[in-house]
Structure 1
Amino acid sequence: MPKLSQEPSENQKEYLSTERELSSIPRVASNNKEPDVWEYPSPQQFYNALERKGMGVEEEDVEIMVQIHNFLNEGAWEEVLKWEKLQAHKCDMIKLTRLQGRPNDLSPKARILGWFK
C-alpha cells in the first residue's frame, strides 16, 4: 500500500486530523512492522486523495466521509465472511491481500438505473 501524505494540501483552509483507525479486517503483512489488520486513512489522507483525483470536497465534510467509508468497509467485510463460511472446510483463516477501488466502473445494475435518470 502506498504511503499516503499526512501533509495539508496547498488549497486546504481547515486542519484535518491525521489519526488513523485500525480496521477489524485481517491482512497479509509484508513485513513485521505492519499491523495484522488494515488501517483506514486519516481524514487528512482521505482529503488529499480526493484532491489528487480532482474531486473537490469541503474540509468540514471529510470527517463524516471517513466515518461512513470505514463503516461501509466493516459491513462489507462482514458480508465477505458470511459467504466465506460456506467454504470453511477449505481454509482456516481468511485475510484480505489487497484493496482495489474502481470508482469509475459502474456495476450492470448501476448502469441500467442510470438510463432512467
Structure 2
Amino acid sequence: MTTFKTSRIKDASLAQQITDETLAWREVICPVTAKYGNYVAKRDLRDKTIVSFQHVLEDTIPTLLPFVKAGAKVKVGACNPDSTDDVAAAYLAANGVEVHAFSGMTPEEYA
C-alpha cells in the first residue's frame, strides 16, 4: 500500500502499537462494521477518492481501510482534534490513508 507523504500526524512510529490482535478484536465486537468492510473491500474503487472528516479513533480503522483495499484514494481529517487518537492516525497513515489529524492541534493547524 502507498503511504501519502502529505499526512499530518503527530508521530508515524505510533502505528506499531496497533496489532493484528487489536484489529481482530474489532471484528468480534463490531460484526456489522466487519461485514461492511468485507463488502467494500471487494469493490473496484480505483480512480475514486473518499474524503471524510470524523473522529480519528481506533474505531475508524476498520471503517476506512476497506476503501484503501478496494483501490480508492482515502483522505481523513479530524472533526475534533481533542478526540484524535494519535496511534490510530499513525496506523491509518502507514496503511495508505492520507491523514490530517493529531491530538492537540492549534486552531491554526486545524484550519
| TM-score range relative to shorter protein | under 0.3
More helix by share: 2
TM-score (normalised: structure 1): 0.24
TM-score (normalised: structure 2): 0.25
Bigger radius of gyration? 1
More strand by share: 2
